[in-house]
Structure 1
Amino acid sequence: MNSVQEHRSKAPSTVSCQIITVSDTRTIETDTSGALMKALLEAHGYHVADYRIVKDEYEDIRQLLHQSSINPNIEAVLLTGGTGIAPRDTTFEAVRSLLGKELPGFGEIFRYLSFTEDIGSAAILSRAIAGTISSTAVFSMPGSKGAVKLAMERIILPELRHVMREIYK
């Protein structure tokens, strides 16, 4: 057994997650990306402790993320939306400002997969980011259903338990 397999075998069986959709226009009824994230998490044995929509306002995102990181019932926060380069896109800045440790591989692999499997050179416009705030894992991805599906299925779902095992060591 290699070390990655060993780590995965000692990882927690579930993780309590919060979903945050960053959008000025989406509602619970129209948030197909947040709904997809919730369905994927639950189908893979993760617990969705909270699901919120927040406006794309830097301070609102930061405040909610900070509150989540000190909530003992939330172990991982998954954000969707606001990661582009439009003037209203502030998720990347808000998330990055709070990270204690960044996981640059998440954004790198997400953009690589987006480039090779999905959207080609437009992948450079994504500012997907991940890391930790204290003992809370944070993953921030674009707001499209395709981006959520790609990030969740190819990166987050296979590694979230492993990430939590490393945080809790």
Structure 2
Amino acid sequence: MTDRPFVPVRIAVLTVSDTRSLAEDRSGDTLVARIEAAGHILAARNILPDERAQIADQLRAWCADPEVDVVISTGGTGLTGRDVTVEAHRDVYEKEIDAFGTVFTHVSMAKIGTSAVQSRATGGVARGTYLFALPGSPGACKDAWDEILVKQLDYRHMPCNFVEIMPRLDEHLRRK
């Protein structure tokens, strides 16, 4: 850390599940608690079924909302036929953050061994908004937040972080 000031970011949380309600959303609750404990702002929260078009539409809506800087989804990243969150994210991405999935796999290997290969966690950018898709377990959400996102979403983290380049994410959309 440096003597840079903390810069809170506005984060939306999307839980993808055919069965969970807000009252049963332990993974979403885990993310919300960590987001708020870190000093960030919960900008929005929603639960949607494992439907690719609905997920992509919600991601696009949040990317178009100037009150949302980051979207974190949980659920639907596995290998079963209903797991379509990764595909929905990729429908929206302008750029994929390839190393996010790699680093998440590395973190997961330390916790769950080779079962980490079953996760398709991913990250990307669209319309100046960061998007991350995490597995649907509270443990995976804790690992992704505690080991990766809490640091990369903190302007004070050095040598670099996502927050410091946030103003330039959509520079290609602005007139020269």
TM-score, normalization by structure 2:
0.88
Structure 2 Cα separation of the partners of residues 67 and 16 of structure 1: 14
Q: Which residue of 1 aligns with 2:171?
A: none
Structure 2 Cα separation of the partners of residues 107 and 9 of structure 1: 28
Structure 2 Cα separation of the partners of residues 74 and 134 of structure 1: 11
Of 82, 94, 104, the match for 1:88: 82
Which SS does the other structure have where 2:19 is aligned?
coil
| Deviant stretches of 4+, over 6 Å | none
Q: Which residue of 2 aligns with 1:56?
A: 50
Q: Which residue of 1 aligns with 2:162?
A: 163
Of 58, 66, 76, the match for 2:60: 66
Structure 2 Cα separation of the partners of residues 24 and 88 of structure 1: 9
Which SS does the other structure have where 2:54 is aligned?
helix
Stretches of structure 2 that go unaligned for 5 or more consecutive residues are: 155-160, 169-176
Asked if 1:78 is matched to 2:77, the reply is no
Contact 1:137 1:164 in 2 (8 A): no
RMSD: 1.5
Stretches of structure 1 that go unaligned for 5 or more consecutive residues are: none
Of 93, 101, 105, the match for 2:95: 101
Structure 2 Cα separation of the partners of residues 118 and 108 of structure 1: 15
Q: Which residue of 2 aligns with 1:9?
A: 4
Give the Å deviation of 1:167.
2.4
Which SS does the other structure have where 2:78 is aligned?
coil
Structure 2 Cα separation of the partners of residues 33 and 88 of structure 1: 18
Of 144, 148, 151, the match for 1:151: 144
2:146 maps to amino acid: E
**How many residues get paired?**
162
TM-score, normalization by structure 1:
0.91
Tell me the alpha carbon deviations over residues 148-167 of structure 1, each in whole angstroms, 9 at most, x when there is no partner. 00000000011014313212
